[in-house]
Structure 1
């Protein structure tokens, strides 16, 4: 009897271990299934456009492969005189173009002289008051993006409404007629400033 009593607890302890392992496996499966269901629901609502919290992703980033880091193409710093009338002012701006892959980076490097010329033209038509505001820097980044792909034969739409002519007298401002272009994806996904000095 003493040997039977001593042998009984050993099988019970092994059964507890098996029970814990089975419960842990079931819990992992339930959590994985719940996570998969949640992801499928989010994907379905994003496709239907029902997800009000999610902002629509720009078309530029849609083709980017996940897990692949972006490629950066730094341009030499630009130094230009600004259009300020009262005082001679200049800007020194460092620009880096972000692209999705090395192939696009190599293509951009072929057109660097034309790209630099276009960016210099954009910068030389700016005043210090335009460049010192956040909105001015954001507008400059959009203009640089547009001008950096133009030598490659890519025409991006200018989304700015600043093309309106100033009003003279009582006449309303005249807007330039924009040519309708098809929606084109830019190979440059972002314009980054590595240096920005206005003096």
Structure 2
């Protein structure tokens, strides 16, 4: 019996080692395994790729309306430039003598010096307009009447000048049938304050 005990004991130790080798050992707590790291990397790559594809699709859908709007703006600008170039070819400018007027300010004497040119749509009639003294006098009268009714505060900013331009265009256009008045342009505009 004594001999059998060490053998049994030996078998038991060998069996234990074999059993320990077969059992999976638990990973240490709090550590990262390679499997977890790979999983995180793969998920990050997939989500980045998905975000890139989504961005591409959304941008591609948004571009056609923007490009269409840009093309329409370019086309309308080009048409406008062509119309203006055509108008310049046919039109002529009738410069008027400078105007120096007292403005309607009551607190102090204020003066306006202004040079006005009238653009008409027919070059061939310009000589007739320039030689027509009755028309020239009537235009000066209408313009002087409008200018003397203004105050310096009405004309000091761009909005006031544009209002004056439109007002003069309405009043002066009445005297133009052929050629037609296209624009009233200020070539000099000085207010003494």
Q: TM-score, normalised by structure 2?
A: 0.51
Contact 2:90 2:123 in 1 (8 A): no
State the shift of 1:89 in Å: 0.6
Tell whether 2:109 aligns with 1:88: yes
Tell me which protein shows more helix as a share of its residues: 2
Tell whether 2:152 aligns with 1:128: yes
Gaps of 5+ in 1: 1-50, 155-185
State the shift of 1:107 in Å: 4.8
Which residue number in structure 2 is paired with residue 179 of structure 1? none
State the shift of 1:70 in Å: 3.1
Counting matched residue pairs gives 118
**RMSD of equivalent CA atoms:** 3.2
Which residue number in structure 1 is paired with residue 63 of structure 2? none
Secondary structure of 2:119 counterpart: strand
Q: TM-score, normalised by structure 1?
A: 0.50
State the shift of 1:76 in Å: 0.2
Which residue number in structure 2 is paired with residue 75 of structure 1? 96
- Alpha-carbon distance in 2 for matches of 1:85, 1:137: 20
- Alpha-carbon distance in 1 for matches of 2:116, 2:165: 9
Gaps of 5+ in 2: 1-71
Higher Rg: 2
**Distance change >3 Å, CA 153–CA 124, structure 1 → 2:** farther
Structure with the bigger RCO (C-alpha within 8 Å, sep 6+) is 1
